[in-house]
A and B are shown apart, each in its own frame.
Chain A
Amino acid sequence: MAHSQNSMEFPVNINTTQITTAYGHRALPKLKEELQSEDLQTRQKALMALCDLMHDPECIYKAMSIGCMENLKVLLKDSNSMVRIKTTEVLYITASHSVGRYAFLEHDIVLALSFLLNDLSPVCRRNLYKAYMQLVQVPRGAQEIISKGLISPLVWKLQVEREEEFQELILDTLVLCLREDATEALSSNVVLVLKQKLLSVNENIRSKAAHALLNVSISREGKKQVCKFDVIPILVHLLKDPVEHVKSNAAGALMFATVITEGKYAALEAQAISPLLELLHSPMTVARLNATKALTMLAEAPEGRKVLQVHVPTFRAMEVESHEKPQVAEALQRAARIAVSVIEFKP
């Protein structure tokens, strides 16, 4: 029977895995103290509570302002793997928000996280990769990762990791980092690693690897390396892949790689023209755009021009097409027009 009096006992803890959070604005300071406690259980429970709280950006801001990040950094080096897992999860959730990314950059968390790249627990590593992936969604984050020199370890990890999910996450991170600055990656043989991944069974990995190669070959050095390591025949092979986005990314990579003369001739030797022409009829707009551009590059070489002169009508048809989004339509038309002009160029 219920008593009319208040019980002297503490209220019942419904969720024993989590610590009870204080009410209102006392929650975070109290959690911060508990994070520093000596007792392992307390720390773990506090981390779980923190995980839940971090979904709210205002909480993240508050946590930052009271200095929770430093505690989290310390906890990253904890000996207990559960603590580390949870800490990385908290950091991953933090990184999904812009405030959290700002916190990452302010408190130098990227470096602290990088020590866990070789962690034994796979869950911990997964969270780590996810955190990085979220971080590089903004250019500043990508620059941070590059400036801390994490590209070479990530490339190395790409080779070493067995889990495909991890590879995908790392590839995602690399794709966005390579867009910013490819020089460091090139010096760590990223092209070779990506070449291997192009032949992987998993379609996501293939597609992401092709995307990464696309970003690599934007820079001149990248183009040269792509030609040097004979990646172009593989890319041409990928053009016949059953999956659409793999094809489109492969076409994009070819588009950039064929800007230099070696690339052009390598692509022509690998019979790239026919798959690219097929790709022009693909349902994905980006695939068509990339294919058009790649064919434009190839048409600059005399041999390519000869072959493509037959297909000028296809391009002319593309010129007058319309698309729902005006920019895309305009882009397609422009690309087609340029292609035609290049093919019909007489010196």
Chain B
Amino acid sequence: MRYGNIMYDRRVIRGNTYALQTGPLLGQPDSLELQRQREAKKRALARKQAQEQLRPQTPEPVEGRKHVDVQTELYLEEIADRIIEVDMECQTDAFLDRPPTPLFIPAKTGKDVATQILEGELFDFDLEVKPVLEVLVGKIIEQSLLEVMEEEELANLRASQREYEELRNSERAEVQRLEEQERRHREEKERRKKQQWEIVHKHNETSQKIAARAFAQRYLADLLPSVFGSLRDSGYFYDPIERDIEIGFLPWLMNEVEKTMEYSMVGRTVLDMLIREVVEKRLYMYEHKEETHRSPEPEDEPGGPGAVTESLEASEFPEQSMSQTQGLVLDGDYVQRTTYDRRSSQERKFMEETELLEQDEESAMGKSLEEEELS
């Protein structure tokens, strides 16, 4: 490569840089793209111009003055006239395939230098690896030792736990044995106590029973005779015959007596009627005959009652008719006395009443009787 002066190098742009057109760079082969870019630039420029117009500009110069562009920088620049521009276009064939750019491999310059590391020159592997290995292995072993120790510790703990458990088991067995013993003893005691208590209880009961029995016997010994006595007193023991007589015979007897009494009553009433009739008749007759006779009355009196009693006697035998009554009226004292003996106390009273009743009629009857005797 030739070295040149930078001042004379065509590639270096010199001079005014304001008015220069930026042409397509050397590495831009595509013409279409180039065209598009140019158009885009034009459009941008136009847009900028339009914007510039809109943008407020400096005001117009005052009357009599003129605006002049002045350079105010430190270093003045020569502003030349507009440069002659010529538009040049060049376009390649659009559809032509362009072969790819060959790889730019810059030419080899410089000196080739090579280096080689031989065995054992850099470091001794065995020596160097030792510490690393030691560390590695050491760490692993440490870790595993820790784990193993942990396990061992656990195993130890477990073993001691087991031992403790065994001891505890044996103690527990002992405790249970003692408990069991205690329980057995206690149960035995309870059983014996219970037995004893039962015996005593039974004993008590038996003695109580005996006492009660003796007392009951003594009490009841009296009871029987008193019971019998009271029963007898209440009449629960009766002689059946007597009972029978009392229940059966006596009412019948009473009935019969009543009947008989009734008969005698009837007879007596009839007799009374007869007597009354007779007496009335005799009275009537007597009244007729009174003027003629006056007979002694007291002599008739014994005979009077006698006659009355005879009439009564006649009434005792009701079967015997009224005719018999009349016949027996005239019987003597003999009959009268026997009838007296035979009468019961009840009849006696009754008869005494009738006697009294007929006392009035006695006199009349006696008189009539007398009259009859006399007549």
**A-to-B contact residues, CB < 8 Å:** 55, 137, 214, 218, 252, 255-256, 259-261, 285-286, 289-290, 292-294, 296-297, 300, 325, 327-328, 331, 335, 338
Contacts and interface: CB of A to CB of B under 8 A. Distances in A.
Nearest to A179: B165
A296 B163 CA distance: 21
Contacts of A292: 170
A335 B167 CA distance: 10
B170 A259 contact: no
Given A259-B180, A260-B180, A300-B181, A338 B174 contact: yes
Given A293-B173, A300-B177, 4 more contacts: A256-B172, A259-B177, A290-B166, A328-B163
Q: Which 9 A-B pairs have the closest CB atoms?
A: A286-B166, A259-B176, A293-B173, A255-B173, A289-B170, A259-B180, A293-B170, A331-B167, A259-B177
B166 A289 contact: yes
Contacts, number: 53
B174 A293 contact: yes
- The majority secondary structure among interface residues of chain B is helix
23 contacts: A137-B158, A218-B169, A218-B172, A252-B169, A255-B173, A259-B173, A259-B179, A259-B180, A261-B184, A286-B166, A289-B166, A290-B169, A292-B170, A293-B170, A294-B173, A297-B177, A300-B177, A325-B163, A328-B167, A331-B171, A335-B170, A335-B174, A338-B174
Interface string B169-200: 11111101101110010000000000000000
A214 B169 contact: yes
A43 to B, nearest CB: 28
Contacts of B170: 255, 289-290, 292-293, 331, 335
A289 B174 contact: no
Interface of B: 147, 158, 163, 166-167, 169-174, 176-177, 179-181, 184
A252 B169 CA distance: 8
A159 B107 CA distance: 89
A296 B171 CA distance: 12
A174 B163 CA distance: 19
Contact of B167 (A55, A297, A300, A327): A327
A285 B171 CA distance: 14
Given A218-B172, A256-B173, A289 B180 contact: no
A133 to B, nearest CB: 12
Contacts of A252: 166, 169
B83 to A, nearest CB: 50
Contacts of A289: 166-167, 170
Nearest to B161: A137
A318 to B, nearest CB: 13
Contacts of A327: 167
Nearest to A332: B170
B166 to A, nearest CB: 4
Contacts of B176: 218, 256, 259
Contacts of B171: 331
A187 to B, nearest CB: 22
A153 B184 CA distance: 38
A296 B166 contact: no
A12 B372 CA distance: 194
B84 to A, nearest CB: 54
Nearest to A254: B173
Contacts of B179: 259
A259 B158 CA distance: 28
Contacts of B174: 293, 296, 335, 338
A331 B202 CA distance: 52
Nearest to B160: A325
A328 B168 CA distance: 11
A137 B167 CA distance: 18
A329 B181 CA distance: 26
A289 B179 CA distance: 19
A331 B346 CA distance: 126
A214 B163 CA distance: 15
Nearest to A284: B166
Contacts of A331: 167, 170-171
A296 B177 CA distance: 9
A218 B170 CA distance: 11
A328 B166 CA distance: 10
Contacts of A338: 174
A289 B170 CA distance: 7
Q: Name the residue in B147, B158, B170, B172 with the highest tally of chain A Cβ atoms < 10 Å from its Cβ.
A: B170
A260 B174 CA distance: 12
Contacts of B167: 289, 327-328, 331
A337 to B, nearest CB: 11
Nearest to B175: A259
A331 B193 CA distance: 38
A42 to B, nearest CB: 29
Contacts of B177: 259, 293, 296-297, 300
A260 B173 CA distance: 11
Nearest to A330: B167
A252 B170 CA distance: 8
Nearest to B181: A300
Nearest to A248: B166
Contacts of B166: 252, 285-286, 289-290
Contacts of B184: 261
A164 B158 CA distance: 23
Nearest to B166: A286
Nearest to A342: B177
Contacts of A218: 169, 172, 176
B113 to A, nearest CB: 19
